[in-house]
Amino acid sequence: MKKTSTRLADGRELIYYDSRDDSVRDAVDRRPLDRTVTTSEVRRDPLLGDAVAIASHRQGRTYHPPAGECPLCPSEGDRLSEIPDSSYDVAVFENRFPSLAGDSGRCEVVCFTSDHDASFADLTEAQAGLVLEAWTDRTAELSHLPSVEQVFCFENRGAEIGVTLGHPHGQIYAYPFTTPRTALMLRSLAAHKEATGGENLFDSVLERELAGERVVLETDHWVAFVPYSAHWPYEVHLYPRRRVPDLLGLDEDARTEFPQVYLELLRRFDRIFGEDEPATPYISAWHQAPFGTLEEFDGVVREDFALHLELFTIRRTSGKLKFLAGSESGMNVFINDVPPETAAQRLREVAS
């Protein structure tokens, strides 16, 4: 992998990740852009104890542009985009409309391929491996920023999810705090460790799932399963067999095998509801240990956390979506219409 860092016309960082070491990335951003001005602010909810990012400047972000005006495609002739070069393998840049900025963290866009009409599932194993390298490198770099405590790599796919740009891409949020969801995991991890005299909760969960009926696929280095208490109609958790706290901890064998496993999962997701259904909308989310102190979680260290990916869709059956209504949105109590065992069986059935 070759990494080339440059700057866009408004000063934002742009990074090319190339599979070839002889790639040259010297194209200049020719757009007459002013410096980006953001209004991002993180506010704490005094009752719930969680954080809300207030980012009014995002109201003006690009919204469903025609394919010929996609800001994530390579620049060509007089059509100038966020990517000044005429081609790229993987490109990462600071979001022009970030939810988090400055002392409130950082947001980046990850362009998986220059092919506007592709999806992650269409990538080759080599291309998917390069995306994994980009995720890993950005996790390492962002973790060194003084305002960053947790790095979150994710992809939203599909208009039903709220995606406003059709080009295959994901995002990276670098939070200035430990996210509420991760904090819940760490509290459960601490409680389990104390109650069992030192056992690791993630290890126990993986061991239980491997012995059960919800495993979707498993390889030498990865295990994918529908969790016992899945929140979403079709939800898969992907764990490396060897527990590591973040993407940086994956060994070479796990990195080599990841593209094969992940692409297979994505392709199965696209076949859950039949060949005639539109592409399955999904969210794919990496969970990594925070880089800040874990003193508030008694007895827990970073190495206790287990890196894992959660992949889920909001489609519950053909033509119908799972909405977060009263119980979910009002009380954070999920009601799942698809038994996890049924979801796992269906995902095994659609194996390629």
Positions marked catalytic: 169
- How close are the terminal C-alpha atoms of the chain, in Å? 30
Q: Is the dihedral of CA 275, 279, 283, 286 positive or negative?
A: positive
Amino acid residing at 113: T
The distance from CA 325 to its chain's CA centroid, rounded to whole angstroms, is 24
Measured CA to CA in angstroms, residue 186 lies from 15, 16, 28 at distances of 33, 34, 45
Sole residue written with tokens 């696209």: 270
Q: Is the dihedral of CA 243, 245, 247, 249 positive or negative?
A: negative
The number of beta carbons lying within 10 Å of the beta carbon of residue 314 is 20
Please say whether the beta carbons of 136 and 247 come within 8 A. yes
Q: How far apart are CA 287 and CA 227, in angstroms?
A: 15
Please say whether the beta carbons of 245 and 136 come within 8 A. no
Q: How far apart are CA 112 and CA 128, in angstroms?
A: 8
Q: How far apart are CA 88 and CA 223, in angstroms?
A: 32
Measured CA to CA in angstroms, residue 244 lies from 193, 240, 302 at distances of 17, 8, 9
Sole residue written with tokens 């007895």: 299
Q: How far apart are CA 45 and CA 31, in angstroms?
A: 40
The number of beta carbons lying within 10 Å of the beta carbon of residue 27 is 17
